[in-house]
Protein backbone atom coordinates (compact mmCIF):
# COMPACT_ATOMS: atom_id res chain seq x y z
CA UNK A 1 0.00 0.00 0.00
CA UNK A 2 2.86 2.37 0.90
CA UNK A 3 4.55 1.60 -2.40
CA UNK A 4 1.38 2.44 -4.33
CA UNK A 5 1.11 5.78 -2.48
CA UNK A 6 4.75 6.59 -3.30
CA UNK A 7 4.17 5.70 -6.96
CA UNK A 8 1.07 7.91 -7.08
CA UNK A 9 2.95 10.82 -5.50
CA UNK A 10 5.81 10.38 -7.97
CA UNK A 11 3.37 10.41 -10.88
CA UNK A 12 1.72 13.54 -9.50
CA UNK A 13 5.13 15.22 -9.16
CA UNK A 14 6.13 14.20 -12.69
CA UNK A 15 2.83 15.50 -14.00
CA UNK A 16 3.28 18.78 -12.16
CA UNK A 17 6.80 19.12 -13.56
CA UNK A 18 5.51 18.43 -17.06
CA UNK A 19 2.79 21.07 -16.68
CA UNK A 20 5.37 23.54 -15.34
CA UNK A 21 7.67 22.89 -18.32
CA UNK A 22 4.75 23.33 -20.70
CA UNK A 23 3.80 26.65 -19.10
CA UNK A 24 7.41 27.86 -19.23
CA UNK A 25 7.69 26.75 -22.85
CA UNK A 26 4.56 28.71 -23.80
CA UNK A 27 5.78 31.76 -21.87
CA UNK A 28 9.16 31.53 -23.60
CA UNK A 29 7.51 31.35 -26.99
CA UNK A 30 5.41 34.40 -26.20
CA UNK A 31 8.47 36.36 -25.09
CA UNK A 32 10.34 35.28 -28.22
CA UNK A 33 7.41 36.38 -30.34
CA UNK A 34 7.35 39.80 -28.65
CA UNK A 35 11.09 40.23 -29.21
CA UNK A 36 10.69 39.18 -32.85
CA UNK A 37 7.92 41.74 -33.39
CA UNK A 38 10.03 44.46 -31.75
CA UNK A 39 13.05 43.55 -33.91
CA UNK A 40 10.94 43.61 -37.07
CA UNK A 41 9.51 46.99 -36.07
CA UNK A 42 12.97 48.47 -35.39
CA UNK A 43 14.31 47.02 -38.65
CA UNK A 44 11.42 48.59 -40.54
CA UNK A 45 12.15 51.97 -38.93
CA UNK A 46 15.77 51.67 -40.07
CA UNK A 47 14.88 50.54 -43.58
CA UNK A 48 12.13 53.04 -44.37
CA UNK A 49 14.51 56.01 -44.88
CA UNK A 50 16.71 53.92 -47.19
CA UNK A 51 13.68 52.75 -49.17
CA UNK A 52 12.47 56.33 -49.43
CA UNK A 53 15.87 57.48 -50.73
CA UNK A 54 15.93 54.66 -53.26
CA UNK A 55 12.41 55.53 -54.44
CA UNK A 56 13.31 59.22 -54.79
CA UNK A 57 16.48 58.43 -56.71
CA UNK A 58 14.54 56.30 -59.20
CA UNK A 59 11.52 58.58 -59.64
CA UNK A 60 10.74 61.13 -62.33
CA UNK A 61 11.37 64.75 -61.42
CA UNK A 62 7.70 65.74 -61.95
CA UNK A 63 6.57 63.52 -59.07
CA UNK A 64 9.42 64.75 -56.85
CA UNK A 65 8.44 68.37 -57.39
CA UNK A 66 4.89 67.52 -56.32
CA UNK A 67 6.17 65.57 -53.27
CA UNK A 68 4.29 62.44 -54.32
CA UNK A 69 7.13 59.93 -53.84
CA UNK A 70 7.29 57.98 -50.58
CA UNK A 71 8.26 54.28 -50.70
CA UNK A 72 7.50 53.33 -54.31
CA UNK A 73 9.22 54.99 -57.29
CA UNK A 74 6.97 56.92 -59.66
CA UNK A 75 7.94 57.52 -63.26
CA UNK A 76 10.73 54.95 -62.93
CA UNK A 77 14.01 56.17 -64.51
CA UNK A 78 17.78 56.24 -63.99
CA UNK A 79 18.41 59.89 -64.91
CA UNK A 80 19.96 60.74 -61.53
CA UNK A 81 22.26 57.72 -61.56
CA UNK A 82 23.26 58.48 -65.15
CA UNK A 83 24.21 62.00 -64.09
CA UNK A 84 26.28 60.67 -61.20
CA UNK A 85 28.05 57.92 -63.14
CA UNK A 86 28.78 60.15 -66.11
CA UNK A 87 30.56 62.76 -63.96
CA UNK A 88 34.29 62.14 -63.57
CA UNK A 89 34.49 63.73 -60.11
CA UNK A 90 32.14 61.14 -58.60
CA UNK A 91 34.02 58.21 -60.09
CA UNK A 92 37.37 59.66 -59.05
CA UNK A 93 36.13 60.27 -55.50
CA UNK A 94 34.66 56.76 -55.34
CA UNK A 95 37.90 55.07 -56.47
CA UNK A 96 40.03 57.23 -54.15
CA UNK A 97 37.76 56.52 -51.17
CA UNK A 98 37.79 52.77 -51.87
CA UNK A 99 41.60 52.79 -52.07
CA UNK A 100 41.84 54.94 -48.94
CA UNK A 101 39.48 52.63 -47.05
CA UNK A 102 41.51 49.56 -47.99
CA UNK A 103 44.84 51.10 -47.00
CA UNK A 104 43.51 52.54 -43.74
CA UNK A 105 41.83 49.27 -42.76
CA UNK A 106 44.97 47.19 -43.33
CA UNK A 107 47.20 49.71 -41.56
CA UNK A 108 44.77 50.09 -38.64
CA UNK A 109 44.48 46.33 -38.14
CA UNK A 110 48.28 46.04 -38.16
CA UNK A 111 48.73 48.88 -35.65
CA UNK A 112 45.92 47.58 -33.42
CA UNK A 113 47.40 44.09 -33.32
CA UNK A 114 50.93 45.29 -32.65
CA UNK A 115 49.67 47.51 -29.82
CA UNK A 116 47.40 44.92 -28.19
CA UNK A 117 49.73 41.91 -28.41
CA UNK A 118 52.56 43.10 -26.08
CA UNK A 119 50.06 44.23 -23.43
CA UNK A 120 48.95 40.65 -22.70
CA UNK A 121 52.38 39.67 -21.37
CA UNK A 122 52.59 39.99 -17.59
CA UNK A 123 56.39 40.20 -17.80
CA UNK A 124 56.23 43.42 -19.83
CA UNK A 125 57.76 46.14 -17.67
CA UNK A 126 55.48 49.11 -17.19
CA UNK A 127 52.47 47.31 -18.65
CA UNK A 128 50.10 48.94 -16.15
CA UNK A 129 51.44 52.41 -16.94
CA UNK A 130 51.09 51.80 -20.68
CA UNK A 131 47.50 50.66 -20.20
CA UNK A 132 46.66 53.78 -18.19
CA UNK A 133 48.29 56.14 -20.68
CA UNK A 134 46.55 54.48 -23.63
CA UNK A 135 43.18 54.51 -21.86
CA UNK A 136 43.46 58.20 -20.96
CA UNK A 137 43.59 59.08 -24.66
CA UNK A 138 40.03 57.74 -24.99
CA UNK A 139 38.68 60.50 -22.76
CA UNK A 140 41.03 63.45 -23.30
CA UNK A 141 42.48 65.02 -26.43
CA UNK A 142 44.15 68.29 -27.32
CA UNK A 143 41.24 69.66 -29.35
CA UNK A 144 40.65 70.76 -32.91
CA UNK A 145 42.96 73.78 -33.06
CA UNK A 146 45.99 72.05 -31.46
CA UNK A 147 45.47 69.09 -33.78
CA UNK A 148 45.41 71.43 -36.76
CA UNK A 149 48.62 73.12 -35.61
CA UNK A 150 50.23 69.73 -35.11
CA UNK A 151 49.30 68.64 -38.64
CA UNK A 152 50.74 71.93 -39.90
CA UNK A 153 54.03 71.39 -38.07
CA UNK A 154 54.27 67.88 -39.46
CA UNK A 155 53.69 69.20 -43.01
CA UNK A 156 50.60 67.02 -43.36
CA UNK A 157 48.17 69.76 -44.35
CA UNK A 158 46.80 69.18 -47.84
CA UNK A 159 48.68 65.88 -47.87
CA UNK A 160 46.83 62.57 -48.47
CA UNK A 161 48.72 61.07 -45.53
CA UNK A 162 46.70 63.27 -43.19
CA UNK A 163 43.71 61.04 -43.97
CA UNK A 164 45.65 57.90 -43.01
CA UNK A 165 48.17 58.45 -40.22
CA UNK A 166 46.21 60.33 -37.50
CA UNK A 167 43.36 57.80 -37.44
CA UNK A 168 45.34 54.59 -37.95
CA UNK A 169 44.69 53.38 -34.37
CA UNK A 170 41.53 53.34 -32.28
CA UNK A 171 42.07 52.77 -28.54
CA UNK A 172 38.58 51.29 -28.19
CA UNK A 173 39.28 48.74 -30.92
CA UNK A 174 42.69 48.01 -29.40
CA UNK A 175 41.02 47.20 -26.07
CA UNK A 176 38.66 44.81 -27.85
CA UNK A 177 41.63 43.12 -29.52
CA UNK A 178 43.58 42.93 -26.26
CA UNK A 179 40.59 41.43 -24.44
CA UNK A 180 40.23 38.83 -27.17
CA UNK A 181 43.92 37.93 -26.83
CA UNK A 182 43.38 37.46 -23.08
CA UNK A 183 40.81 34.79 -23.89
CA UNK A 184 43.32 32.65 -25.81
CA UNK A 185 44.76 29.99 -23.44
CA UNK A 186 48.23 30.78 -22.14
CA UNK A 187 49.15 27.12 -22.56
CA UNK A 188 49.27 27.58 -26.33
CA UNK A 189 51.74 30.42 -26.02
CA UNK A 190 53.81 28.63 -23.38
CA UNK A 191 54.07 25.47 -25.48
CA UNK A 192 55.26 27.56 -28.44
CA UNK A 193 57.81 29.31 -26.23
CA UNK A 194 59.13 25.93 -25.05
CA UNK A 195 59.57 24.97 -28.72
CA UNK A 196 61.68 28.10 -29.20
CA UNK A 197 59.15 30.25 -31.07
CA UNK A 198 59.77 34.00 -30.99
CA UNK A 199 57.15 36.58 -29.99
CA UNK A 200 56.35 37.42 -33.61
CA UNK A 201 56.26 33.73 -34.53
CA UNK A 202 53.71 33.12 -31.77
CA UNK A 203 51.66 36.09 -32.96
CA UNK A 204 51.60 34.97 -36.58
CA UNK A 205 51.15 31.24 -36.00
CA UNK A 206 48.81 31.18 -32.97
CA UNK A 207 47.12 34.49 -32.18
CA UNK A 208 46.33 35.75 -35.68
CA UNK A 209 44.76 32.46 -36.92
CA UNK A 210 42.61 32.27 -33.76
CA UNK A 211 41.56 35.92 -34.01
CA UNK A 212 39.69 35.86 -37.30
CA UNK A 213 36.32 36.83 -35.71
CA UNK A 214 37.67 39.90 -33.93
CA UNK A 215 39.86 40.87 -36.91
CA UNK A 216 36.84 40.75 -39.21
CA UNK A 217 34.79 42.78 -36.73
CA UNK A 218 37.46 45.45 -36.31
CA UNK A 219 38.03 45.53 -40.06
CA UNK A 220 34.35 46.37 -40.46
CA UNK A 221 34.61 49.09 -37.81
CA UNK A 222 37.66 50.67 -39.42
CA UNK A 223 36.31 50.36 -42.97
CA UNK A 224 32.95 51.93 -42.13
CA UNK A 225 34.63 54.69 -40.14
CA UNK A 226 36.98 55.60 -42.98
CA UNK A 227 34.36 55.26 -45.71
CA UNK A 228 31.99 57.59 -43.85
CA UNK A 229 34.70 59.98 -42.67
CA UNK A 230 34.82 63.50 -44.03
CA UNK A 231 35.62 65.84 -41.11
CA UNK A 232 39.40 65.30 -41.33
CA UNK A 233 39.39 66.01 -45.07
CA UNK A 234 37.18 69.04 -44.47
CA UNK A 235 39.69 70.50 -42.00
CA UNK A 236 43.01 69.47 -43.52
CA UNK A 237 42.52 69.06 -47.29
CA UNK A 238 42.24 71.79 -49.94
CA UNK A 239 43.12 69.73 -53.00
CA UNK A 240 39.79 68.55 -54.41
CA UNK A 241 41.50 65.67 -56.20
CA UNK A 242 41.89 63.99 -52.81
CA UNK A 243 38.42 64.69 -51.51
CA UNK A 244 36.84 61.46 -50.22
CA UNK A 245 33.39 60.58 -51.45
CA UNK A 246 31.64 61.68 -48.26
CA UNK A 247 33.18 65.16 -48.37
CA UNK A 248 32.14 65.51 -52.01
CA UNK A 249 28.66 64.40 -50.97
CA UNK A 250 28.68 66.89 -48.10
CA UNK A 251 29.57 69.78 -50.41
CA UNK A 252 27.00 68.84 -53.02
CA UNK A 253 24.18 68.38 -50.52
CA UNK A 254 24.98 71.81 -49.11
CA UNK A 255 25.08 73.43 -52.53
CA UNK A 256 22.25 71.80 -54.47
CA UNK A 257 19.31 73.38 -52.69
CA UNK A 258 17.75 75.36 -55.51
CA UNK A 259 17.30 75.26 -59.25
CA UNK A 260 19.81 78.10 -59.63
CA UNK A 261 22.56 76.26 -57.83
CA UNK A 262 21.65 73.05 -59.61
CA UNK A 263 22.02 74.90 -62.90
CA UNK A 264 25.53 75.96 -61.89
CA UNK A 265 26.35 72.31 -61.23
CA UNK A 266 25.05 71.38 -64.66
CA UNK A 267 21.64 70.00 -63.66
CA UNK A 268 19.06 72.43 -64.91
CA UNK A 269 16.01 70.14 -64.98
CA UNK A 270 13.52 71.16 -62.24
CA UNK A 271 13.39 68.54 -59.51
CA UNK A 272 16.56 66.79 -60.64
CA UNK A 273 18.50 68.31 -57.73
CA UNK A 274 16.32 66.42 -55.24
CA UNK A 275 16.64 63.19 -57.20
CA UNK A 276 20.37 63.76 -57.56
CA UNK A 277 20.85 64.14 -53.82
CA UNK A 278 19.09 60.83 -53.18
CA UNK A 279 21.12 59.10 -55.90
CA UNK A 280 24.41 60.39 -54.48
CA UNK A 281 23.50 59.18 -50.99
CA UNK A 282 22.63 55.74 -52.35
CA UNK A 283 25.77 55.74 -54.49
CA UNK A 284 27.94 56.33 -51.41
CA UNK A 285 26.03 54.00 -49.07
CA UNK A 286 25.42 50.82 -51.05
CA UNK A 287 29.09 49.72 -51.46
CA UNK A 288 29.79 49.61 -47.73
CA UNK A 289 26.47 47.85 -47.11
CA UNK A 290 27.48 45.12 -49.55
CA UNK A 291 30.50 44.27 -47.39
CA UNK A 292 28.52 43.57 -44.22
CA UNK A 293 26.91 40.23 -45.29
CA UNK A 294 30.37 38.72 -45.80
CA UNK A 295 31.43 39.68 -42.26
CA UNK A 296 28.13 39.16 -40.47
CA UNK A 297 28.98 35.66 -39.19
CA UNK A 298 32.05 37.09 -37.44
CA UNK A 299 30.48 40.33 -36.25
CA UNK A 300 28.50 39.36 -33.13
CA UNK A 301 30.93 36.57 -32.25
CA UNK A 302 33.92 38.89 -32.42
CA UNK A 303 32.34 41.75 -30.47
CA UNK A 304 31.03 39.60 -27.61
CA UNK A 305 34.20 37.59 -27.17
CA UNK A 306 36.42 40.63 -27.40
CA UNK A 307 34.33 42.80 -25.08
CA UNK A 308 33.44 40.34 -22.30
CA UNK A 309 36.64 38.45 -21.59
CA UNK A 310 39.28 40.24 -19.60
Regarding whether 279 and 228 lie in a shared domain, the answer is yes
- Percent of the chain as helix, strand, coil, to the nearest 5: 75, 0, 25
- d(CA 116, CA 37) in angstroms, rounded, equals 40
Q: Which domain holds residue 116?
A: 79-308
Q: Which of 186-190, 273-277, 303-307 has the highest mean pLDDT?
A: 186-190
**DSSP helix/strand/coil, 87:** coil
Average pLDDT, the chain: 78
**DSSP helix/strand/coil, 73:** coil
pLDDT of residue 110: 93
Regarding whether 262 and 195 lie in a shared domain, the answer is yes
* Rounded alpha-carbon distances, angstroms, from residue 45 to 27, 40, 41, 50, 52: 27, 9, 6, 10, 11
Regarding whether 163 and 104 lie in a shared domain, the answer is yes
Rounded to an integer, the average pLDDT of 39-56 is: 84
- d(CA 132, CA 152) in angstroms, rounded, equals 29
- Classify the phi-psi angles of 158: left when phi > 0, otherwise alpha if psi is within -120 to 50, otherwise beta: left
Q: Could you give the percent of the chain with pLDDT greater than 70? A: 80
Residue 175 sits at the vertex; the CA angle it makes with 169 and 179, to the nearest 5 degrees, is 140
pLDDT of residue 199: 84
| Residue 296, pLDDT above cutoff 80 | no
pLDDT of residue 23: 58
What's the CATH number where 184 sits? 1.10.3720.10
Regarding whether 269 and 198 lie in a shared domain, the answer is yes
In a domain, 64, yes or no: no
Regarding whether 138 and 52 lie in a shared domain, the answer is no
Q: For 182, what's the count of Cα atoms within 13 Å in the CB-facing half-sphere?
A: 15
Model confidence at 103, in pLDDT bands (50, 70, 90)?
very high
Regarding whether 290 and 154 lie in a shared domain, the answer is yes
In a domain, 206, yes or no: yes
Quote the number of domains for the chain: 2
Regarding whether 146 and 204 lie in a shared domain, the answer is yes
Model confidence at 24, in pLDDT bands (50, 70, 90)?
low
Regarding whether 35 and 85 lie in a shared domain, the answer is no
In a domain, 68, yes or no: no
Least confident of 44-53, 119-128, 195-204, 297-306: 297-306
In a domain, 269, yes or no: yes
In a domain, 143, yes or no: yes
Q: Which of 1-5, 153-157, 288-292 has the highest mean pLDDT?
A: 153-157
Regarding whether 176 and 48 lie in a shared domain, the answer is no
Q: What is the DSSP string of 175-201?
A: HHHHHHHHTS-HHHHHHHHHTT--HHH
pLDDT of residue 298: 66
Regarding whether 20 and 115 lie in a shared domain, the answer is no
- d(CA 296, CA 213) in angstroms, rounded, equals 10
CB-based contact 121:200 (threshold 8 Å): no
In a domain, 65, yes or no: no
pLDDT digits (tens, 9 = 90+) for 176-228: 889 888 888 888 888 888 888 888 888 888 888 888 888 888 888 898 888 88
Which of 281, 280, 306 has its CA nearest to residue 219? 306
Regarding whether 162 and 240 lie in a shared domain, the answer is yes
pLDDT of residue 220: 86
pLDDT of residue 216: 86
| Residue 269, pLDDT above cutoff 70 | no
Rounded to an integer, the average pLDDT of 119-127 is: 85
Residue 247 contacts by C-beta under 8 Å, 6 or more apart in sequence?
Answer: 230, 233, 234, 237
Regarding whether 104 and 36 lie in a shared domain, the answer is no
In a domain, 125, yes or no: yes
pLDDT of residue 28: 76
Dihedral angle sign, alpha carbons of residues 195, 201, 207, 212: negative
In a domain, 73, yes or no: no
pLDDT of residue 102: 92
Amino acid sequence: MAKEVKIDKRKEKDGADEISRTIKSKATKRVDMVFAIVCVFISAICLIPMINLLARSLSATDFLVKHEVYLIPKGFNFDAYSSVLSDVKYIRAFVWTAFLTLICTLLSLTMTTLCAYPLIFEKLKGRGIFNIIITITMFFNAGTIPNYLLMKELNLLDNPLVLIIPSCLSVYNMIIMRSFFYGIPDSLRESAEIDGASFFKILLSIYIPLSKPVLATLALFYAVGRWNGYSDALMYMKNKDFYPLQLLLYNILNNINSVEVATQEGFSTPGLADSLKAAIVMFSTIPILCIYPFLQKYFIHGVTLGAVKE
